[in-house]
Structure formats: C-alpha cells, structure tokens
Structure 1
Amino acid sequence: MVSVQFILAIGVFFFLLIFQAIFLAVIYREIVHIQRQLLDQQKQEALAQQKQLLVKENEQLKEYADYLDRNEDELRRFKHDYQNILLSLKVSAEKGGSQALVEELEKYTSSQFDQKALRKYPDVNHVKIPELKSIAIAKLAKLYNEKIDYSFGCEPEISQIPQTNLLDLVRIIGIAFDNAIEASQQLEALGGQRRVEAMYYQEGGDFEFMIRNRIGGPVADSDQLAQAGYTTKEEHAGLGLANVKEIVSQHDEQMLLDYGPEDGWFNFSLTLLPENVEEEI
C-alpha cells in the first residue's frame, strides 16, 4: 500500500516541476522582450543617425543648389556673350595678320571654359523642390566624378508634385541612379561605351522620373531582377530593385513602376499619380 508520505513527495515533485516550467517560461519571455527592446532601440538609433545625416546632407546640397540657381543662367549668358566677343576679336586679328593673337585667344578660351563642367548640372535649376533637387545634384556629381557620359533634363519647371512621402520617392530615385552608375562601372570593365540619361517630367498633375543606362549584354527578366539577393555585380547584396518594389508596394495606388532592358539600354520609369486620380476617372 502506497504511503501518504510517498504521495506527498510525488505531489511536491510535480509542483516543483510545474513551478520550474512556469518560471523558465517567464524568464524566456522576459529575455525575448528585452532582446526586442534592444533591437528596436538599435534600429531607432540607426534611423536617427541616418536621418541626421540626410538632413545635414540635404542642407548642404540645398545651399549649393541655391547657389546654382543664382549663377547658372547668368553663367550661360556670359559664356554666350564672351564667345561672340571672342569671335569678333578673332576676325579682327585674322584681318590684321596677327596669328599669335588668335592662338592666344583660343588658348585662353580653352583654359577658362571647361565645356563639360558647364554642363555638370543641366536643368537642375528648373527643379524647385529641395528634396528632388538635392538627390539630382548628388547623383549628377557622382556621374561627373566617375567620368560617365550623362544627360539630365527637367522641362517644364517643377515646383509642385502630387502629395507623397518624399523620403520614399528620394530613396527610389537614389537607388535607380546608383544601379545605373554601378552598371556603367561594370560596362567599363567590359570595354563598353557608358551613358546614363535621366529626366524629371511633369504633365497633367503627375510626376515622372525616368532613367536609362547602356548595358553590354543579356539581362535577366524583370521578375528575376526584382528578387532580393539577385545581382550580377561583385560584392553587391542585390537589394536595389527589390527595395524599390517594396517601397512602391506601399504606394501601389499612387506609384507606377516599369523597368527592363530594351535595345542595349536598361530603362527605369516611375510615375507618381495624384491621390484623387481614381475619383477623377
């Protein structure tokens, strides 16, 4: 016959076992909660640092953009007038037989005007939205420094676009530029001719950003290109287009995305629609 003491011992054992299990579950839950808090705190700190960096960079670029606005048109007029003056002096010198003066004038012109530098920021002064202007300046400067042939257009002047999250729009534009630049760098290694063409465009209340770059060979299909981790570049995470698609998916009723290779180019197009476009239709 089982004694009372044995039954009590079994009861105490099971009680301690259950208590230990509950205690371990509570401890595990607290550890998970603390880890999540630490991760959230780290993410918040990283985002705060990134935001501060973006704000600082935006302020610097805005200041530079304001300078360009004040000086670009005036510089173009001066260049035009100077060339006319130079032409008249050249004709006079040739009539007078002063070949040395002609050569000196041409040499002075070459030293004073870097034709490519004058075209470093074409049409940027037509962009009146600081965030869009800043990202254009930053990426055009990178193209210029990388010695990649490029063009940028903005006609007509853009001072207002459909209401949206500008940081998301700037991220997409930045990724598209970076992809074009990286593809151009890869193309150079293959001996191809590098070229990037980009533009801001507005019609009927929408906003369009288009960019294309030369490519040197076959490119994966659009679905494969947008897969996270897919890349043809060395030491590259392959997250560019995947990130773009994720951002666009959060604005799927307002943003239209199109991209893919065509006739030796990789084309990328983003259209931002007014929020009430469906109501108007």
Structure 2
Amino acid sequence: MADSDIRRPAPAVLPADTTEDVRAAGARIAVLPVGSLEQHGPYLPLVTDTLIACSVARGLAAAYPVQLLPPLTVSCSHEHEDWPGTVSISAATLHAVVGDIAASLRRSGVRGLVLVNGHGGNYVLRNVVQESAGTGTRTALFPGPGDWDAARKRAGVLTPSYRDMHAGEVETSILLHDHPELVLPGYEASDWIADDRKHLLTLGMRGYTDSGVIGCPSAASADKGRELLAGLTECFAAYVELLDADTGRAAPDTGRAAPDTGRAAR
C-alpha cells in the first residue's frame, strides 16, 4: 500500500477541560467552532472546515480568556451533495442548535458567544448573530471578511478572495501547517478557476467544477497557514474587547501576557 493510500486519523479536536478547570477560569465568553462534513476535492478530508474552525478557535483560547467548546461537525453543505461523503443539516436545525447552546451557556453565566465559522455556506449564522440582540447573550461571528483580508495580507496569500473559494490556497495552507498528515498528494496540480458563479445556490458546486475545487491550492504552503492563523488570532482582540464591554464587565485578570502571534517586524 502506498503512503498516499494510508488514512491517518485526525488529531483530537475536543477540549480536555474538567468542570473545575472551567469554574476556575471564569470565562464570560465562549468560542464555538462550526465546521462541516463536505467534499474538499481529492486531496483534503471531508472534515477540513471543522479542522480549520478548531485550529482558529484553539489559537483564540490559547491567547484570550475564553471557554473553548467542542465543534459542530455537520452543517449546511447542500451545495456539495453531488459528491460522496457530504452530509448536511438544515439551516433551521443549525439555527436551533446554536440557539440552544447559547441558552445553556447563559444559564451558567456565560453571556458572550463567538461562532468561529469554518464553512462559507452557513449563511444562517448571520441571522443567529442578528437575532441575539435582546436575548441576554451577545453573539459575534468570526472571522469576518475584514479579519480574513488582514490575515491573507499578512500571510502573503496570492489568490484573490473571490477566486479562492473552496479547497484553495487558504484552506490547503492551514491544513499543511496544522494537519499536514491529512493533505494528500495532488493539490499541487488541482487549480481550477471559476470566478463567475452567479447561480451557485441553484446549480450547486457541480455547476462550476468537476473536481470539487475552486481556487489555487498550488500556491499553498505551511508558512502561509501559520501566518493566517496568527493573523486571525491578532484580529480577535477587538472581539474580546467588544463582548466584555457589552456585558458591562471588564475582562478577567488571568495573568496571561498579550497574545504572541509570532509576527516578525515588517
């Protein structure tokens, strides 16, 4: 059996905190990674979005006083269902699950919730954030477009964001950095450009790609993946400040130094 045929299990992505760990930390903001189970071409795993959301969320939890939650691993991937392995839930179900999680956290005193979204098709999460006003839980969606733009610039990503839609330079770079054992050969020659995707929601991904890839994975590198994650961690400081101020309480003194993003002077 060739090395490329060996399927290695994904590393653990579940937080290992005990109840006493959470009590001692006293975090008032929780971070929920939201991934998906959908095709990412022939070289990235179905759990790519979940792994990326978890990579981002782990970086946030290491740098800021937040409670890290386990990921939601199935979401709204209907546009990918022409490929085997893709599994979806409805937007209404995702909305309800996140709402239930927010309510549960609120009962335990956590009144800030950040949804770290790894899948662009989870449009309903914007509605979840919009509707959080007045519920007692202030909710934010991260990363936003501006956060991604800053991280992409820092990392030297070459592909424009509209072109780098799926299994392209950004996603492949993050997995090359954080989970290289899960990236199979072939990404180097899988670039596919489909900038005009006017009817994507009607036709699905199959209307614009045979491989499932839209973007330029050939430009990916582990170094870019590292800088992308560091850039997003840096951007998150504004969210922590906003949510702590919104709950009317200052951030707890955890004795942590300012986040070390590993950014070299430029």
TM-score by length of structure 2 reads 0.28
State the structure with bigger RCO (CA 8 A, min sep 6), 1 or 2. 2
Structure number with larger C-alpha Rg: 1
Q: Which has the higher helix share?
A: 1
Task: Flag the structure with higher strand content.
Answer: 1
